[in-house]
Structure 1
């Protein structure tokens, strides 16, 4: 996975970084509360790269 940028990520950026089939996967994860935590800026969904990194580490530990 490429390094995470130092700005809040859009769902499209995060889907690309995680190499997901579509951004809809992120929305499904959000609905199930299983994906990386996101937050709203007005009507826009954003992801903090530090929270995404922590989520990835958590997933790696659970998979081990």
Structure 2
């Protein structure tokens, strides 16, 4: 349950930041925020996965 709520608040923060950028007329930064956050998330997951596989042997 904690993981579920933690993930929900993280996504909510990303959405709020992106919405605020868009409403302030910073559309390029809003798009960059989504793309960069998604890319960093995928890279972090890939790194964690590879680290787990390496540690498992």
Length-normalised TM-score, structure 1: 0.34
Taking structure 2 as the reference length, the TM-score comes to 0.37
- Rg larger for: 2
Higher RCO (CA < 8 A, seq sep 6+): 1
